[in-house]
């Protein structure tokens, strides 16, 4: 089912890419409808597109491509399945008349596992295609489930020679209780990395893959804590997301990425190690996920220090391909399929270059984290001096009223409880020190109780 839906999305995104290059709007809606037919084995899927990104598409121009695609999706002879008109009308009421509609039969049952994989795939698709609002609907005789993938905050990135790229940078983590309302950066800040040329291996050329191939790297660290320089952080995981040239997620696990932790120099990155994790380890995660191991990390004592903010690093890998001898829509789709089929061979053929590029991007991103930790170590050393001085003054004082007032103000019963209370107070005051940054302020979103749709800003 994922393979078929990926094919339909590939067609729609290639059409969208042509419209963006022509300077036309690329926003709109995408509906993925799963539904059961009269028989228990009749499992069907419909994908529809509407809105500005599909306007101007002529059905007669698309018909040959749609017919060829439909034959691949539903090779069995018979009438095409048709979805419920009411479902399509509700979608059209939101985004205008349908421009593209493709329905096909699905092999196998709509199990909970298959639906979870589809949700993860669409979530991953929405991360790099924020201008398209995605609706997923599942209908059967027993249940009706619906989910909407929309974006609160997006960042617009300009790729050289490519249509603009919009990423979902919404921070879903709640700020610590100490952070005041409106003072927490609600969106991350993606960073452009290197654009790495890739050589095509001979076996891929033998099957017809030619042209120029490259890999664009983009990193995103979330949540952003630039406004709180003294707030302790902990990098919990790194996820790698791979997209094909039409900006659709690449399917299937990658053996190259699975073995990547063994090739990276974790000591240079300031990490004890990376451990490959399955997608189910993290909520809404997809792609390749690594759990970060820290040799010198220890959980803070609750009474002395607040818990560090858990951060995640997303590394986007955007494949880019150009071939002047491939211009027809059907040929471009076939070329992308061929590229994905030989992707593992391509990555292994460029193993050293890809590994060095990923190492450099991770090092550059984590460099600020390392400096942040060093600054906090200096602050901790100052804490010890202040704590020792304060304890010396209080315990050495012969003024009982002064000592009692100090103990009462720190809400402790004796001097043996005073060090922990003083340390906690110093930590709270320093960790939550706020430093205004215009870059972060532009990413903030104020929500009102009566707002129906999430607002979005470009950062």
| Mean pLDDT confidence for 234-259 | 91
- pLDDT level of residue 305 (50, 70, 90 thresholds): low
Torsion (CA) 432, 376, 362, 306 in degrees, nearest 10: -50
Lowest mean pLDDT segment, chosen from 104-113, 316-325, 398-407: 104-113
What is the bridge-based pairing of β-strands 98-105 and 43-50? antiparallel
C-alpha 215/C-alpha 244 separation (Å) is: 10
Lowest mean pLDDT among 22-36, 74-88, 137-151: 74-88
Does residue 302 carry a pLDDT above 50? no
> What does the buried/exposed string (b/e) look like for 425-457 if buried means 16 or more CB atoms within 10 Å of the residue's CB?
ebbeebbbeeeeeeebeebebeeeeeeeeeebe
Identify which of 26, 15, 56 has the alpha carbon closest to the alpha carbon of residue 166.
Answer: 26
Q: How far apart are CA 103 and CA 32, in angstroms?
A: 10
Give me the pLDDT at residue 260, please.
93
Q: Which two tokens stand for residue 155?
A: 């960042």
pLDDT tier at 17 (50, 70, 90 boundaries)? confident
- Is pLDDT of 248 > 50? yes
- Give the tens place of pLDDT for each residue, 388-444: 888 888 888 888 888 888 888 888 887 778 788 887 777 777 767 777 766 675 444
Per-residue model confidence as pLDDT tens digits over 58-90: 666 666 776 777 676 665 545 667 788 888 898
What are the contacts of 296-304 at 24+ separation with CB within 8 A? 297/234, 300/232, 303/420, 303/424, 304/420, 304/423, 304/424, 304/427
453 pLDDT exceeds 50? no
Structure-model confidence comparison of residues 127 and 101, the more confident one: 127
**Which tokens hold the place of 121?**
């795939």
| Structure confidence at residue 286 (pLDDT) | 60
Q: What span, in angstroms and rounded, lies between the C-alpha atoms of 426 and 437?
A: 24
**96, pLDDT greater than 80:** yes
CB burial class (10 A; 0-12, 13-18, 19+) of residue 86? exposed
Looking at per-residue pLDDT, the higher value among 173 and 304 belongs to: 173
Specify the range with the lowest mean pLDDT, choosing from 22-26, 68-72, 312-316. Answer: 22-26
Least confident of 97-106, 274-283, 340-349: 274-283
- pLDDT of residue 300 exceeding 50: no
Region 440-453: mean pLDDT is: 40
Which of 3-17, 154-168, 238-252, 343-357 shows the lowest per-residue confidence on average (mean pLDDT)?
154-168
pLDDT at 357 > cutoff 70? yes
Burial (Cβ within 10 Å: 0-12, 13-18, ≥19) of residue 378: exposed
Which residues, 6 or more positions from 306, have their beta carbon under 8 angstroms from its beta carbon? 176, 178, 232, 300, 427, 428, 431
Confidence of residue 298 (pLDDT cuts 50, 70, 90): very low
User: Would you place residue 214 in the very low, low, confident or very high pLDDT band (cuts 50, 70, 90)?
Assistant: very high
Do 276 and 261 meet the contact criterion of CB atoms below 8 Å apart?
A: yes
Is 347's pLDDT higher than 90? yes
Structure tokens at 240: 């790698």
Percent share of the chain, pLDDT over 70: 79
Question: How wide is the angle at C-alpha 312 spanned by C-alphas 157 and 219, nearest 5°?
Answer: 25
pLDDT top residue among 93 and 455:
93
102: which strand partners?
A: 47
The more confidently predicted of residues 179 and 208 is 208
Please compute the mean of the pLDDT values over residues 245-253 and round it to a whole number: 90
How big is the CA angle at 203 (ends 199 and 204), to the nearest 5 degrees?
A: 60
The percent of residues above 90 in pLDDT, for the chain, comes to 27
């Amino acid at each position: 089912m994922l393979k078929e839906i990926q094919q339909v999305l590939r067609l729609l995104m290639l059409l969208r890419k042509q419209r963006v290059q022509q300077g036309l709007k690329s926003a709109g809606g995408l509906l993925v409808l799963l539904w059961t037919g009269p028989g228990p084995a009749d499992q069907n899927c419909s994908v529809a597109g509407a809105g500005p990104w599909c306007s101007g598409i002529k059905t007669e121009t698309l018909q040959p491509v749609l017919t060829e695609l439909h034959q691949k999706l539903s090779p069995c002879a018979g009438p095409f399945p048709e979805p419920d008109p009411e479902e399509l009308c509700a979608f059209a009421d939101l985004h205008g008349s349908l421009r593209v509609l493709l329905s096909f039969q699905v092999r196998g049952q709509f199990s909970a596992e298959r639906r979870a994989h589809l949700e993860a795939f669409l979530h991953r698709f929405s991360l790099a295609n924020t201008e398209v609002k995605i609706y997923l609907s599942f209908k059967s005789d027993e249940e009706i489930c619906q989910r909407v993938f929309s974006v609160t905050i997006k960042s617009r990135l300009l790729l050289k020679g490519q249509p603009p790229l919009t990423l979902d940078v919404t921070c879903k983590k709640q700020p610590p209780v100490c952070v005041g309302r409106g003072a927490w950066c609600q969106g991350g800040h993606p960073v452009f990395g290197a654009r790495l040329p890739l050589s095509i291996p001979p076996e891929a050329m033998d099957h017809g893959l030619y042209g120029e191939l490259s890999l664009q790297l983009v990193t995103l660290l979330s949540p952003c804590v630039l406004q709180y320089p003294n707030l302790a952080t902990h990098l919990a995981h790194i996820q790698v997301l791979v997209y094909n040239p039409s900006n659709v997620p690449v399917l299937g696990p990658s053996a190259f990425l699975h073995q990547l932790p063994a090739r990276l120099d974790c000591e240079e990155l300031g990490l004890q190690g990376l451990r490959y994790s399955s997608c189910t380890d993290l909520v809404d995660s997809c792609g390749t996920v690594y759990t970060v191991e820290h040799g010198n990390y220890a959980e803070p004592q609750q009474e002395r220090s607040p818990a560090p903010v858990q951060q995640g690093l997303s590394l986007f890998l955007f494949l880019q391909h150009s071939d002047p001898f491939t211009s027809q829509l059907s040929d471009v789709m076939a070329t992308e399929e061929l590229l994905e089929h030989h992707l593992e061979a391509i990555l292994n053929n460029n193993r050293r270059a890809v590994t060095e590029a990923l190492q450099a991007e991770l090092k550059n991103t984590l460099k600020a984290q390392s400096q942040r930790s060093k600054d906090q170590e200096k602050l901790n050393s100052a804490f010890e001096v202040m704590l020792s001085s304060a304890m010396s003054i209080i315990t050495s004082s012969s003024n009982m009223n002064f000592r009692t007032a100090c103990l009462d103000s720190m809400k402790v019963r004796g001097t043996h409880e005073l060090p922990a209370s003083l340390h906690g107070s110093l930590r709270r005051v320093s960790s939550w020190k706020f430093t205004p940054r215009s870059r972060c302020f532009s990413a903030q979103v104020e929500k009102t109780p009566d707002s129906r749709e999430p607002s979005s800003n470009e950062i």
